[in-house]
Amino acid sequence: MIVIGGGDTGSDCVGTSNRHGAASVTQFEVMPQPPAEENRPMTWPYWPLKLRTSSSHEEGCTREFAISTKAFTGDGKDGKSGKITGLTTVNVEFKDGKLVEIAGTEKNYKADLVLLAMGFVNPVGTVLEAFGVEKDPRGNAKAGTDVVGGYKTNVAKVFAAGDMRRGQSLVVWAIREGRQAARAVDEFLSGASTLPR
């Protein structure tokens, strides 16, 4: 199986696939392989990149860098539809600040499962749209975090918190926002709240 995306979620996919008994696991990262050690003298605004190897990677995985997927192949009559059988890649490099394909580096991989872990965009819009909840410019539920009126959306009695409100984030933020939103709802319903903020 192949994981497209070299971030934390991709790493989780690698670990989970191994634990489910995948025969082989390959992970693609579009960016070049970072150095084993960060460049310590590097200063802001540059970010000292360093190759990160997670415990999931250590469980077993081939990591390919500077690689982009061009096409999927399937067992359908047209070779594209049906159940996935593989994909075609090409190597890429930075030229004038842009990632460009390197001619002649196309390669075919066999795969019966491909997981896409290329980043989050925003929450699925259908629930927000069904409620008529206004979105922020990033497509998240628009709601503030003020002490008064926090977590309220534009729709009466609809509150939003966590990833749905702030976008992809961390569990600590989900816990904080969940607690604060609970207090905001309590205040809305009871006029006051003794819940912690």
Question: Which of residues 162, 180, 181, 183 is near ligand FAD by CB under 6 A?
Answer: 162
Tell me if 159 contacts ligand FAD by CB under 6 A: no
Least separation in angstroms between residue 163's CB and ligand FAD is: 4
Query: Which of 99, 95, 100, 17 is CA-nearest to residue 62?
Result: 17
Would strands 84-95 and 107-110 be described as parallel, antiparallel, or unpaired?
antiparallel
Contact pick of 163, 181, 183, 184 for ligand FAD (by CB under 6 A): 163
Beta strands in the chain (DSSP E): 2-4, 26-29, 62-65, 67-74, 84-95, 98-101, 107-110, 114-116
* Residue at shortest CB range from ligand FAD: 162
Q: Which is nearer to ligand FAD, 12 or 186 (CB)?
A: 12
Q: Does 5 bind ligand FAD (CB under 6 A)?
A: no
By CB under 6 A, name the one of 51, 99, 127, 195 that touches ligand FAD. Answer: 127
Using a 10 angstrom Cβ sphere, with 0-12 exposed, 13-18 middle and 19 or more buried, the burial of residue 55 is exposed
Q: Rounded to the nearest whole angstrom, what is the least distance from the CB of residue 164 to ligand FAD in the complex?
A: 6
CB closer to ligand FAD, 42 vs 121: 121
- Extended strands (E) in 76-128: 84-95, 98-101, 107-110, 114-116
Asked if 6 contacts 31 with a C-beta cutoff of 8 angstroms, the reply is yes
Note whether 38 binds ligand FAD by CB under 6 A: no
Question: Contact 110/122 with Cβ under 8 angstroms?
Answer: no
Is residue 8 a contact point for ligand FAD (CB under 6 A)? yes
Residues lying near ligand FAD in the complex (CB under 6 A): 8-9, 12, 127, 162-164, 169-171, 174
